[in-house]
Amino acid sequence: MELPFLLLTIGGLLLVGLVADTIGRRTPLPRVTLLILFGVVAGPSGFDILPHALSDWYEVLATIALTMVAFLLGGTLSADNLRAHGRAILTISVAVVVLTTLTLGVGLMAIGVAAPLALLLAGIATATAPAATQDVVRQSGAHGPFTTQLLGIVAVDDAWGLIVFSLILVAAQTLMGGNGVDLLADGLIEIGLSCAIGLLVGFPAAILTGRLRRGEPTQSEAIGIVFLCAGLATWLGASFLLAGMIAGAIVVNFARHHERAFHEIERIEWPFMVLFFVLAGAALEFESLTHLGLIGAACIVLRFASRLVGGWAGARLAASPPLYGRWMGMALMPQAGVALGMALVAGNHIPQYRDTLLAVTIATTIVFEIIGPVMTQVALKRVGEVGQAPQR
SS3 annotation, 111-125: CCCCHHHHHHHHHHC
Range of the domain at 240: 68-264+301-382
Packing angle between helix 2-26 and helix 130-140, nearest 10 degrees? 50
DSSP symbol at 291: G
pLDDT digits over 48-59, tens only?
A: 888 877 877 888
Q: Which residues contact 225 (CB under 8 A, 6 or more apart)?
A: 71, 201, 205, 209, 247, 251, 261
| Whether 174 contacts 180, CB under 8 Å | yes
Within-domain flag for 4: no
Read off φ and ψ for residue 230, nearest 5 degrees. -65, -45
Count of domains observed in the chain: 1
Within-domain flag for 240: yes
Q: pLDDT: is 114 or 28 the higher one?
A: 114
Read off φ and ψ for residue 112, nearest 5 degrees. 100, 10
pLDDT digits over 358-384, tens only?
A: 888 888 888 898 899 999 999 999 999
SS3 content of the chain, % helix, strand, coil (to 5): 80, 0, 20
Task: Determine the pLDDT at residue 389.
Answer: 41
pLDDT digits over 30-46, tens only?
A: 888 888 888 888 888 78
Q: Please give the average per-residue pLDDT across 115-141, as a whole number.
A: 88
Percent of the chain residues past pLDDT 90, beyond the cut: 27
Q: Look at residue 392 and tell me whether its pLDDT is greater than 60.
A: no
Task: Determine the pLDDT at residue 85.
Answer: 86
Read off φ and ψ for residue 132, nearest 5 degrees. -65, -45
CATH number at residue 75: 1.20.1530.20
Within-domain flag for 78: yes
Within-domain flag for 273: no
Lowest mean pLDDT among 72-81, 83-92, 139-148: 72-81
| Whether 257 contacts 206, CB under 8 Å | no
Task: Determine the pLDDT at residue 180.
Answer: 60
Within-domain flag for 9: no
| Whether 305 contacts 90, CB under 8 Å | no
Q: What is the dihedral of CA 72, 127, 33, 295, to 10 degrees?
A: 180
pLDDT range class, residue 214, cuts 50, 70, 90: low
Mean pLDDT (the chain) is 84
Report pTM. Answer: 0.82
Packing angle between helix 145-175 and helix 130-140, nearest 10 degrees? 170
Task: Determine the pLDDT at residue 391.
Answer: 42
Within-domain flag for 247: yes
Q: Which residues contact 3 (CB under 8 A, 6 or more apart)?
A: none
Q: How far apart are CA 328 and CA 340, in angstroms?
A: 24
DSSP symbol at 30: -
Q: Is 385 left (phi over 0), alpha (psi -120 to 50) or beta?
A: alpha
Write out the H or E segment, with its range, that includes residue 138. Answer: helix 130-140
Q: Please give the average per-residue pLDDT across 237-266, as a whole number.
A: 81
Within-domain flag for 260: yes
Q: How far apart are CA 33 and CA 36, in angstroms?
A: 5
Lowest mean pLDDT among 180-189, 202-211, 272-281, 292-301: 180-189
Q: Please give the average per-residue pLDDT across 80-100, as a whole number.
A: 90
Task: Determine the pLDDT at residue 331.
Answer: 93
Measuring CA to CA, how many Å separate 49 from each of 17, 46, 55, 285? 17, 8, 12, 15
Q: What is the dihedral of CA 360, 365, 368, 372, to 10 degrees?
A: 160
Number of residues that this document lists for the chain: 392
| Whether 36 contacts 284, CB under 8 Å | yes
Within-domain flag for 36: no
For the chain, the C-alpha Rg in angstroms (whole number) is 20
Q: How far apart are CA 333 and CA 96, in angstroms?
A: 11
Q: pLDDT: is 100 or 128 the higher one?
A: 100
